[in-house]
Amino acid sequence: MSEVHACKSCGAPVSGRFCTACGEKVLTPDDHTLKHYLGALLNAFTFVEGKFWNTLKAVVLRPGELSAAYMDGRRVKHMRPVAFFFLANFIYFAVPLFETFNTRLNSQLHNQQYSGWAQRKVEAHLAESGRTLEGFKVLYEPASANNAKLLLVTMVFLLLLPMSVLYLRKRKYVSAYVTASFELMSFYLWVATLALSVALHRAHRATGHGHNSGRWLGG
Ligand SMILES: [Zn+2]
């Protein structure tokens, strides 16, 4: 294993088991056995899972640590803050009872201060397009969910402004603020997801009701 050869990925000279330039592993005949392959597959899962739990624990229990570690160059133990944010985003919207950022049409038309205005808008739209309210709902809900996701991403960048004002004198890199924003929004999403899941579970048991997927937050 001592002879030097070119790395298959980046072409840099390699003499050990890994390329020091890009990290590519030098394959041995052993790597091609089924046993090794399955082992690597399992390893990949537990590795990702370990990172996920580390990151979730850090974000919920020790807010700020993920960003600090990331900017400090301690990155292997956690998921990247951006990836973690998009995972949180995905899970948040996979659970259908959250309406904070995604207020449903019924709630818009009946439970909001502006519901009178919203009703007139929808009625005008229905009259103009010839759609039924049900037909409109089918179009509205996914569009509203997409807007809500976009709004969450927008929030990350809106957070940059107060954050940079708050820490103006620290002269940090802009990337430090972006990272902290992603972490803050992840914190919000995970805490909301966890807290609401617990609340739902409790209410479920207390009332013994089957489906209660209505307006939990009252819009
Ligand atoms: Zn390489």
Q: Tell me if 212 is assigned to some domain.
A: no
Q: What is the pLDDT of residue 107?
A: 77
**For residue range 153-188, what is the model confidence (pLDDT) as tens digits?**
888 888 888 887 777 677 777 888 888 899 999 998
Q: Is there a contact between 60 and 87 (Cβ–Cβ < 8 Å)? A: no
Predicted pLDDT of residue 211: 45
Residue 147 belongs to domain spanning: 80-207
Centre of ligand 1 from the C-alpha of residue 10, in Å: 4
The pLDDT score that the predictor gives to residue 195 is 81
Ordered mean pLDDT values, 10 residues apiece, the chain (219 residues): 83 92 89 87 83 92 91 91 90 66 73 86 90 84 79 85 77 83 90 79 65 42
d(CA 12, ligand 1 centre) in Å: 5
40 assigned to some structural domain? no
What pLDDT does 208 receive?
57
Residue 190 within any structural domain of the chain: yes
Residue 191 lies in a domain: yes
Contacts of 78 (CB under 8 A, 6+ apart): 51, 54, 55, 58, 66, 69, 70, 84
- Cβ distance 58 to 65 under 8 Å? yes
Q: How far is the CA of 21 from the centre of ligand 1 (A)?
A: 5
> What is the per-residue pLDDT for 70?
92
Q: What pLDDT was estimated at residue 54?
A: 92
CA of 95 to the centre of ligand 1 (A): 42
Cβ pair 66, 84 in contact under 8 A: yes
The amino acid present at 19, given as its one-letter code, is C
48 within domain boundaries: no
Question: 117 CB contacts (<8 Å, ≥6 apart)?
Answer: none
Q: Are 162 and 99 contacting, i.e. CB atoms less than 8 angstroms apart? A: no
Residue 69 CB coordination number (10 Å): 19
**How far apart are the CA of 188 and the centre of ligand 1, in A?**
39
SS (H, E, C) 32-58: HCHHHHHHHHHHHHHHHHHHHHHHHHH
Q: How many angstroms separate the CA atoms of 182 and 190, rounded?
A: 12
Would residue 141 count as lying in a domain? yes
The length of the chain is 219
Distance 4 CA to ligand 1 centre (A): 12
> What are the structure tokens assigned to 74, written together?
């301690």
Residue 53 domain flag: no
Q: pLDDT value at position 99?
A: 55
- Ligand 1 center–CA 213 separation, angstroms: 52
CA of 93 to the centre of ligand 1 (A): 39
- Whether 148 is covered by a domain: the verdict is yes
| Number of domains into which the chain is organized | 1
pTM of the model: 0.67
